[in-house]
Structure 1
Amino acid sequence: MQFLAAYSAGLVLLAIGLFRLLAGRGGATGGLILVAGLVLAAAGGAAMVIAPRDGQTLSLGFGDDGGSKSQERLDDGAPQDEPGSNAAAPAAPAAAEAEAPTRPPRIIEAPTTTIRPADGAVTEDVPAPAASPDFVDPLTQDAQAAAEPTPPLPTPPPDDDRAVALASLAPAASKKQKAFMEALAKGREAYQAAADDVAREAARADRSAALCGTASSPDVENWAATVEAIDTDPSGRIAFAVALPDGTILRTWNNPMSDLDDQTLVLAGTELAGIIGGLKTGDAVRVSGSLFPEPPDCWRSSRLSVDQAIREPSFIFRFTRVARLQN
């Protein structure tokens, strides 16, 4: 009802103010009346629209100077604390609990049970089992085994028969063949006596120069040797190897892929294949053919490592003729 009364009063004041202005008697008083009417009408109308929606109330008052004041208050219905109330009261039980003395934990001892022999029972000490002389403590077995010295691996005995057979061919070697084997022997001795890698490389270079100096061409004629290996692949090609009196190997490649350029494998159906087919390992023969020039050993080596190439020389060889050695 207050909003409606304010709205009505505002309309009345507006009407009076407009009347005075139209009558030419407005002046300052007429202007104040008109302004007051506008304020009251606007405030009352707004209050009637807003108040039912969000629960706001509008209180209006007039001062002595004819002015108007408005105060808007939102009532949310929340209870307010009374002055002097103690807000920390709920914490009192926690403080009291913290101040309470703590009791030490109670230790419960487990009952012990003593087993006594029955009346009349005879008790006697049972001796511990005697240790067997063959008994081995598993805890010390590994330590004892580690403390015992490990015997060295036995060195396989040399092939005396092969060495004798090769040595017997030395008198049948040609002058060029003997010079070839002597260069290999001196190179091996120098390599084994070298103190470091630099000295070993120097020994290898000297050996290569000596090997190249033994022959003006890679061709070999009637060198004495023994048959070392004969292998045939599924296509009938023969991989052939012989050993010189000093143990040096002359051999073909053992597979077609490696032999694409050198063509050392003996083809099936050839005269040479027929002669080799009639031989066996250990037979004494004379061979002819050619070596392949290649650094750093002067002739192409079949060994993969430098150490093997020096200590156990083996060279790729293309055989052109093989014949049994006549006594």
Structure 2
Amino acid sequence: MGSESLFIKCKTCGKEISKTAKTCPHCGEKQKKLSIIHWVGIILVSLFIIGLINAPKHPKESSSSSSIAKVSATGQKETKMAIPSDQVQFIDAVEKFSNDFRDAKNELQQSALRDQRRSELSKLVRARTVSSWVGTISQLGTNTEGKAILSIQVSPDIEIKTWNNALSDINSNTLIAKSSELYSSLFNLSRGQQVEFSGDFFSSKIDYIEETSMTIQGSMRNPEFLFKFKSVKNLN
């Protein structure tokens, strides 16, 4: 073991010589040694090879997984409903007056804002008829007679709905009869589903279109507009 660590063979004559010898004492041949530059080169090449070995074997798979995650995370947004322009204007107007109402300093200002909203709605839904509006079902049930009760949310604070009892509905006839095609179209729907709907609002001297809240606070901040549904179509 000692001789292997202290001696090497001369590449010319093949005889053993000292590792530190600059020339072979037997044949006089100069012994070549690796320079510092050579050693540095060898080290760099070794590090490069080690880096290749430790690098991820499937970088494309990682990128693909990331893309799939993004699609999953944004899937809900991608299925957002396209809202008709007249509905957008309606929602913007109602929400504007709702915000102004919250900032009102007294009941005089609140009453004036309700009058202003009535005037604005008379311009936006003059005929009180809308077509292909969209929203999310917030209530779907029946009254004691089995007629359907329906409420559709068109924004976080705005509901468009039928009455929920026969007594209130005597003059409006908004509850949906079991024998109607509209009732059949609702049969397989449920709360939380996105739908497209058409129908008519009701006339009101106070709000231009009838709103069912008992107080001005409810009417302005979380309005529930009475509606006669003519059609409802599932969008999911």
Q: Could you say whether these structures have the same fold, taking a TM-score greater than 0.5 normalized by the shorter chain as the test?
A: yes
Structure 1, gaps ≥5 residues long: 1-163
Tell me, yes or no, if structure 1 residue 218 matches structure 2 residue 132.
Answer: no
In structure 2, the partner of 1:241 is 151
How far is the alpha carbon of 1:169 from its aligned partner? 8.0
Q: Which letter maps to 2:189? A: L
How far is the alpha carbon of 1:298 from its aligned partner? 1.4
In structure 1, the partner of 2:235 is 325
Q: Measured at CA, do residues 230 and 241 of structure 1 come closer, stay the same or move farther in structure 2, by a change above 3 Å?
A: same
Q: Measured at CA, do residues 167 and 240 of structure 1 come closer, stay the same or move farther in structure 2, by a change above 3 Å?
A: farther
Greater RCO (Cα-Cα under 8 Å, separation 6 or more): 2
Post-superposition Cα deviations, 1:201-235, rounded to whole Å, max 9, x if no partner, equal 11111111111111220111011101111111232
Structure 2, gaps ≥5 residues long: 1-73
1:286–1:322 contact (8 Å) kept in structure 2: yes
How far is the alpha carbon of 1:320 from its aligned partner? 0.4
Partner SS for 2:99? helix
Written as runs of structure 1 = structure 2, the 5 A alignment for 1:11-90 is none
In structure 1, the partner of 2:92 is 182
Post-superposition Cα deviations, 1:41-72, rounded to whole Å, max 9, x if no partner, equal xxxxxxxxxxxxxxxxxxxxxxxxxxxxxxxx
C-alpha distance in 2 between matches for 1:235 and 1:198: 42
Q: Measured at CA, do residues 218 and 186 of structure 1 come closer, stay the same or move farther in structure 2, by a change above 3 Å?
A: same
C-alpha distance in 1 between matches for 2:176 and 2:190: 16
Tell me, yes or no, if structure 1 residue 281 matches structure 2 residue 227.
Answer: no
In structure 1, the partner of 2:170 is 260
C-alpha distance in 2 between matches for 1:190 and 1:233: 36
1:237–1:267 contact (8 Å) kept in structure 2: yes
C-alpha distance in 2 between matches for 1:209 and 1:167: 34
Partner SS for 1:244? strand
Q: Which letter maps to 2:194? A: A
In structure 1, the partner of 2:25 is none
Please identify which structure carries the higher strand content.
2
Q: 1:196 aligns with which of 106, 109, 116?
A: 106
Q: Measured at CA, do residues 167 and 209 of structure 1 come closer, stay the same or move farther in structure 2, by a change above 3 Å?
A: farther
C-alpha distance in 2 between matches for 1:169 and 1:217: 31
How far is the alpha carbon of 1:246 from its aligned partner? 4.1
Q: 1:305 aligns with which of 190, 211, 215?
A: 215
Post-superposition Cα deviations, 1:210-265, rounded to whole Å, max 9, x if no partner, equal 11111220111011101111111232211111100343101111111111111100
Partner SS for 2:204? coil
1:169–1:225 contact (8 Å) kept in structure 2: no
How far is the alpha carbon of 1:192 from its aligned partner? 1.4
How far is the alpha carbon of 1:171 from its aligned partner? 5.3
In structure 2, the partner of 1:110 is none
Partner SS for 1:318? strand
Q: Measured at CA, do residues 258 and 168 of structure 1 come closer, stay the same or move farther in structure 2, by a change above 3 Å?
A: farther
C-alpha distance in 1 between matches for 2:77 and 2:221: 18
Q: TM-score, normalised by structure 2?
A: 0.64
C-alpha distance in 2 between matches for 1:265 and 1:185: 27
Post-superposition Cα deviations, 1:94-123, rounded to whole Å, max 9, x if no partner, equal xxxxxxxxxxxxxxxxxxxxxxxxxxxxxx
Q: Measured at CA, do residues 237 and 315 of structure 1 come closer, stay the same or move farther in structure 2, by a change above 3 Å?
A: same
C-alpha distance in 2 between matches for 1:309 and 1:230: 22
Aligned length: 163
Q: TM-score, normalised by structure 1?
A: 0.47
Post-superposition Cα deviations, 1:71-97, rounded to whole Å, max 9, x if no partner, equal xxxxxxxxxxxxxxxxxxxxxxxxxxx
C-alpha distance in 1 between matches for 2:136 and 2:233: 11
CA RMSD of aligned residues (A): 2.3
Partner SS for 1:243? strand
C-alpha distance in 2 between matches for 1:222 and 1:167: 20
How far is the alpha carbon of 1:269 from its aligned partner? 2.1
The runs of at least 4 consecutive aligned structure 1 residues that moved more than 4 Å come to: 166-171
Written as runs of structure 1 = structure 2, the 5 A alignment for 1:85-124 is none
2:194–2:235 contact (8 Å) kept in structure 1: yes
